Amino acid sequence: MKKLIALLFFVGIMAFGAGYVAYAQESTPAQTETVDTAAPKTFHESMKERFIEGGPVWMAPILLTLIFGLAIAMERIIYLTLSGTNTVKLLNGVEKALSNGGVEEAKNLCRNTRGPVASIFYQGLLRYDSGIEEVEKAVVSYGSVITGRMESGISWISLFIALAPMLGFLGTVVGMIQAFDDIAAAGDISPQIVANGIKIALLTTVFGLIVAIILQILYNYIISKIDSLINSMEDSTITFMDIMYKYTKK
């Protein structure tokens, strides 16, 4: 998963660099040639132009928060998606395996089944010889470990959600100060100086908020995914313990 984060980060950097170079090459001849203003700009072109207008000093950190946030979010989504298990099918299989081949066959079934629920069952079955109380302790303890693994990294996403608009606001404040410095240097309140300075300053806030909104949506989806998996784990472990209690009484 760490390799996936590094790959997504590298792809994001390369994509941004390629887009920036392409835009710079397109904008250079536009200074000497007549530009056809009748052709409407696409949303992507407009956003790229606005991003470059904001300047690299503040836009680059905002872009990095987006890239890192997306990389962690995608890694978590992939991990949680692969963690899903058909618990009903697994529980029926464990019960059938215990009836036909005993604990060893149930172990083999859980060992060959993907997902955290199967891992929890396997840890409980490993301690069957120590008593049903040890099985329950193992299930509870390993369930906490699995929950921690699922929640790993999401605190970084919440950090980037808070950091992106803060960087945008900081860029806006610095840009406003720069605009007033330009007014003081010119000795006159020119509408053009004020408008350009304020526009560039506000662009950092806009992109900071856009990044925060994107990451917030992904963060909430990940949290809901984790809650769903935890509820499924709790329900299935209760049923698993009932199966184990019934098996010990035979």
Q: Is the pLDDT of residue 9 over 70?
A: no
Query: What's the whole-number average pLDDT of the chain?
Result: 78
Residue 217 pLDDT grade (very low, low, confident, very high; cuts 50, 70, 90): very high
The domain in which residue 93 lies consists of 87-150+233-248
| Contact yes or no for 109/93 (Cβ under 8 A) | yes
Q: Is residue 67 part of a domain?
A: no
Q: Is residue 22 part of a domain?
A: no
Q: Can you tell me the distance from the alpha carbon of 224 to that of 204, in angstroms, rounded to the nearest whole number?
A: 30
**Mean pLDDT on 154-159:** 92
pLDDT tens column, 96-114: 888 888 888 888 888 888 8
The structural domain count of the chain equals: 1
Handedness of CA 139, 142, 143, 146 (dihedral sign): negative
Q: Is residue 167 part of a domain?
A: no
The whole-number pLDDT of residue 211 equals 93
DSSP 215-244: HHHHHHHHHHHHHHHHHHHHHHHHHHHHHH
Q: Is residue 43 part of a domain?
A: no
Q: Is residue 215 part of a domain?
A: no
Q: Is residue 2 part of a domain?
A: no
Q: Can you tell me the distance from the alpha carbon of 132 to that of 120, in angstroms, rounded to the nearest whole number?
A: 15
Q: Is residue 65 part of a domain?
A: no
Percent of the chain with pLDDT over 70: 73
Q: Is residue 198 part of a domain?
A: no
